[in-house]
Amino acid sequence: MPRTEFTARFKARQQLLGTFVKTPTSHASEILGGAGFDFVVIDEEHAPIDRSATDQILLGCRANDIAGLVRVPSSMPSAIQSVLDCGADGVLVPHVASVEVARSVVAASRYRGGIRGFSNSPRAGGYGAAGMWAHIEAQDRDIAVLAMIEDREAIDAIEDILAVEGLDGIFIGRGDLTVSLGAKSAGDPAVKDAVARIMAAARNAGKPICIMVGAVSEIDAFRAEGRAPSSFRPIRLSCAPAPTGSAPSSMPPLHTETNTGHQHVRSKRPTRGPQCRRASQYSRPDGL
């Protein structure tokens, strides 16, 4: 899939495939692109990744035409603008617990109707090759904006958050949600009830939702809860160092946190590279 088509396909709720990158080098994103993945999420929140590392990882994304989203460390406009200027194809913003924060996240991600500071001199603007209004139009059209729903306060405001214009989708962070609710695990009834409410709201709003499944046993329940016109398919991928002479072995162990599996969706299985020993796919609810 061409990198520039990610947001349009995401909004159309087509099947895509992606995963997190947690090591500050360009190799993992380049390898994943070559292996057939559609996107990666660069983790600035829970990994040792700063702007310089993000810039390099996004360069790796472009080497193999894979979309690069960034989970920024906060909802601060400066954090969002930084990764978008570097050429990110979307942002995943943690702890969006109110409609006010959701609106501010969207505003920070958009030129028209927003507050994103203009510059076409970084990678996002082709280092000046894109004219002002051509750059503005392309960025406002092609950037995906996703909010992480992972706080008790967000549950009560979920319908209003989902109604924010310009918010393209959400991610349910069951790990942080479990902590916020004071539950023992993601399997606690309180967490399950919260997830069900969020899913129902997203389904009613017609917006895609991202969620990580921690076990095969969760598949059927999530699928039944999210019946509607499309589906997503999260994966869990176990990787080992590549054999001598093969592709670089700097891929991180992916999906080691219960709340960090981004939406991983695809219509077909990716080609397995030599560094991957196994990949088991978990279906996520249809139509979310």
Q: Output the pLDDT for position 217.
A: 79
Determine the 3-state secondary structure of 166 from DSSP.
Answer: coil
Q: Output the pLDDT for position 165.
A: 96
Residues of the chain with pLDDT under 70: 1, 216, 219, 222-224, 226-288
Determine the 3-state secondary structure of 41 from DSSP.
Answer: strand
Per-residue model confidence as pLDDT tens digits over 241-277? 333 444 333 333 333 233 333 344 333 334 444 333 3
Q: Output the pLDDT for position 273.
A: 43
Q: Output the pLDDT for position 227.
A: 55
The two tokens of residue 267 are: 């219509």
Beta bridge partners of 20: 41
Q: Output the pLDDT for position 88.
A: 98
The two tokens of residue 32 are: 């994943």
**Rounded Cα distance, 147 and 222, in Å:** 20
The two tokens of residue 254 are: 């992916």
Torsion from C-alpha of 32, 90, 84, 54, nearest 10 degrees = -30
Q: For residue 226, count other CB atoms closer than 10 A to its CB.
A: 23
Rounded CA Rg of the chain:
18
**Active site members:** 46
Q: Please work out, in degrees rounded to the nearest 5, the angle formed at the alpha carbon of residue 280 by the alpha carbons of 170 and 180.
A: 35
Domains in the chain (CATH in brackets) are 3-281 (3.20.20.60)
pTM: 0.77
Mean pLDDT of the chain: 81
